[in-house]
Amino acid sequence: MLQIQNLHYAYHSRPVLHGISLELPAGTLLSLLGRNGAGKSTLLNCIAGLFKPQQGRVLLDGRDTAALNPRELARSVAYVSQNAPHTYRYTILEYVLLGRAARLPLYARPAEADYAVARAALERLGIERLADKIYMETSGGEKQLASIARALVQEPRVILFDEPTSALDYGNAAAILSLMADLAEDGYTVVNTTHNPEPPLLLHGRHPQSQTALLLADGSVRAGGTAEVLTETALQELYQTDLRLLAVPGWPRQVCAHAPLPQRAQT
């Protein structure tokens, strides 16, 4: 169980999060939606222990994560950032193996079993062909997939995805969303952020009841619950724009369509 209790966070003196409270049992798949600056990434950073909130707590199975050392936290929570880190000239396989650090004795080298775990993660994501490529010489989408593989080999209970499909092509984006749903079915708690309502709508088509959504605006919760909170009215108010939710004939899902773009004003 991941619990967030009355969380407040501010950058310097500028409030960013205001009294966020959540309870996410194992197997929950939560999508955080909001405009730029709504506080989505900040909330993930607080859950990951990267930011210390001014008020409130993050609990994992009843234990305050602030009391966990970095090694303990890494065994429980994995964070896939939207920004590809700069690294030494690691191969993709070596980069993914970094995720095993919290599972190894201090100063120990990865064993053959750790290599097997890393290769299995690459295969699960369909990027085993990249194992020997230099991480910094791969595309943005390939880096994103490698970062997800690195999170998987940590064997955490909670996986945080910050804009996980932002650098991926359409096919790979759908594959990652499917993977996130699989992970939730396997008992992981999965939290992802997105600016775009399309990914949670697609996930909702697969798990109408178990997939949840939280709409953030100005650091506060505007709506939350099962993904059925993703109504046309709620999304219009959240994004301050004209859009429609349309049913897809023959498929158990909706798509979000924006109104036609206005013509350029004639001068």
What is the reported pLDDT for 124?
92
**In CATH, what class is 1-76+157-228?**
alpha beta
Cβ contact 156:76 at 8 Å? yes
Structure-token pair, residue 244: 């429609």
Burial class (CB in 10 A: 0-12, 13-18, 19+), 263: exposed
DSSP state of 98: G
Strands 158-162 and 77-80: parallel
* Rounded distance between C-alpha atoms, residue 98 and residue 110, angstroms: 9
State the sign of the Cα–Cα–Cα–Cα dihedral 190, 193, 194, 200. Answer: positive
Residues in the chain: 267
Cβ contact 131:91 at 8 Å? yes
- DSSP track, 29-56: EEEEE--TTSSHHHHHHHHTTSS--SEE
* Rounded distance between C-alpha atoms, residue 243 and residue 258, angstroms: 4
* Rounded distance between C-alpha atoms, residue 43 and residue 218, angstroms: 12
Helix (H, G, I), strand (E, B) or coil at 57: strand
Domain boundaries, the chain: 1-76+157-228, 86-155
Cβ contact 155:120 at 8 Å? no
Vertex 179: Cα angle to 178 and 180 (nearest 5): 90
Cα–Cα distances in angstroms (integers) from residue 17 to residues 4, 32, 40, 46, 183, in the given order: 12, 13, 9, 10, 28
What is the reported pLDDT for 208?
64
What distance lies between CA 245 and its chain's CA centroid?
A: 23
Per-residue pLDDT of the chain (267 residues; tens, 9 = 90+): 899 999 999 988 888 999 999 999 999 999 999 998 889 999 999 999 999 999 999 999 999 999 999 999 999 999 998 877 777 889 999 999 999 999 998 889 999 999 999 999 999 999 999 999 999 999 888 898 999 999 999 999 999 999 998 878 888 889 889 999 999 999 999 999 999 999 998 888 776 666 688 888 888 888 787 777 888 999 999 999 999 999 999 988 889 999 998 888 877
* Rounded distance between C-alpha atoms, residue 157 and residue 74, angstroms: 10
* Rounded distance between C-alpha atoms, residue 52 and residue 259, angstroms: 40
What is the reported pLDDT for 246?
94
